[in-house]
Structure 1
Amino acid sequence: MERTKLKDRVLPSYTKGEEIFNMVTHIIGGAMGVVALVLCIIFSALHHDGYALAGSIVYGLSMIILFTMSSIYHGISPKHQIAKKVFQIMDHDTIFVLIAGTYTPILLVTIREADPFWAWMLLAIVWGISILGIVLNSIDIERFKVFSMICYLGLGWCIVFKFNLLLSHMALNGIILLVAGGIAYTVGCIFYKLGDTKKYMHSIWHIWILIGALYHFLTILLYVI
């Protein structure tokens, strides 16, 4: 299959109101990312845990990067087609960054304490697949659209294969928050798909993303770091 050239790619036809809403919701997400970065670093420093500190930095920055790229993408006027298409790619790429970034403190702290081998193995798998997804998205976002969505969901839930390690080393409330965040992201995917044809469905997807990000932030801050 031939690669779709950037100039030939068709952008979603969101209304101005939708794009303003999309931009504002993810500006809020970016602010949450700053709070997450600062608080997680402080908590890690208080606990004198180098792994937690490293995980906190990666996690906080990944959230800031995703929501910043998304806000810029939705904030660019459709008149600037090339710029908007470039940031659309970056928006999709940074979903992989956030998924891997969210896994990082959980694997470096909670799972590593339970089973170091599987912690490092899962970390390598998650980041490896995420990097592959970023490369493929950057080559042709349309051609690999289905593959990317499968990877988003698959990566997000792959922790279930070692769920026993979470059960033995994370408080029940933390597990509930973690699963709730995963469910929020997954439910959001339904609205993401509906956004192709239904007005404001993509905006509702953004709300679900904020909810999922908040639950995972609370999980990491209160039950991981």
Structure 2
Amino acid sequence: MVDAHDEVPGNLSESVRRSLVHGRPLWRGVMHRAAVPLVVAGGAALVWQTPSGADRLGAGVFAAGALLMFVASALVHLRRWSIPVWEMLFRFDHAAIFILIAASATPVAVSSLEGRSAQLLLWATWIGAAIGVTLRMLPFHPPRGLMNTLFLSLGWVPIMVAPDLFRALDTSVLVLIVVEGLLYSGGAIMLGVRWPDLSPRVFGYHEVWHALVTAAVAIHFVVVAMIVGAG
């Protein structure tokens, strides 16, 4: 947190500005740092237990995307960085969320869908992720709310192939996918409106977002294991 007599530079992203002005709650980044070794172990087990071929590739893409997202988040929230480093890490953090969304859709498309539906889901999510990453890496600060809107929009792209998913997936898998989608979406909305801010110095609205994302990723590990026949 900046001192009352310090001036915050004008040309800052909203993420860095809030980090400087409001400081970091005690739990900021803790869950995602703890998730990194769990994702390494869980991802390795998932890939190892998945039959070789396209199923294993899809599972590996998801595990890698999840690891990238947690590492990016853990780094940006590890400490108070210099402003240029913080700006770079926040860009990396947001870009990694887009990659996770596309990586999460990959095993679903590869292992559960066929033909045009699989291709549509893969192309739509990865092109959307590429657009999101590119926008975040451009040398300007996006308007407040734009990134969350893009996260939500990309996350619900699988609705385009919903009829095929209903035919291809068991009810239990569909229920889990809906639950994780609601966790992601609810978390993104809460992050956007900055509520509930339970304890700003210990566990704020951003920690609620991290908790919901962590739970959603854990559920998707179960989903992927079920659809690729791991075990």
TM-score (norm 2): 0.83
| Runs of 5+ consecutive residues of structure 1 not aligned to the other structure | 1-5
- Give aligned-pair identity as a percent: 20
Which residue in the other structure is 1:98 paired with?
A: 100
Which residue in the other structure is 1:181 paired with?
A: 180
Moved more, 139-148 or 154-163: 139-148
User: Would you say 1:190 and 2:189 are equivalent positions?
Assistant: yes
> RMSD of aligned C-alpha atoms?
2.1
Which residue in the other structure is 1:15 paired with?
A: 23
C-alpha deviation, 1:35, in angstroms: 2.9
C-alpha deviation, 1:131, in angstroms: 0.5
Letter in 2 for 1:87: L
The residue correspondences of 1:50-199 to structure 2 (distance < 5 A) are 50-78=53-81, 80-112=82-114, 116-140=115-139, 142-143=141-142, 145-195=144-194, 198=197, 199=200
Q: How far apart, CA to CA, are the structure 2 residues paired with 1:77 and 1:150?
A: 27
CA contact (8 A) 2:190 2:196 kept: no
CA contact (8 A) 1:51 1:108 kept: yes
Which residue in the other structure is 1:3 paired with?
A: none
| Runs of 5+ consecutive residues of structure 2 not aligned to the other structure | 1-8
C-alpha deviation, 1:140, in angstroms: 4.6
Decide which of 28, 34, 40 is 2:40's aligned counterpart.
34
C-alpha deviation, 1:214, in angstroms: 1.0
Q: How far apart, CA to CA, are the structure 2 residues paired with 1:197 and 1:163?
A: 32
Letter in 2 for 1:30: V
CA contact (8 A) 1:69 1:94 kept: yes
CA contact (8 A) 1:137 1:145 kept: no
C-alpha deviation, 1:144, in angstroms: 5.2
Distance 1:144 1:123, change over 3 A: farther
Q: How far apart, CA to CA, are the structure 1 residues paired with 2:39 and 2:181?
A: 18
Letter in 2 for 1:100: A
Q: How far apart, CA to CA, are the structure 2 residues paired with 1:77 and 1:91?
A: 15
The superposition leaves residues 116-166 of structure 1 with CA deviations (integer Å, 9 ceiling, x where unpaired) of 112012201110111111011111563255443222111211212211212
| Number of residue pairs aligned between Structure 1 and Structure 2 | 211
- Greater share of helix residues, 1 or 2? 1
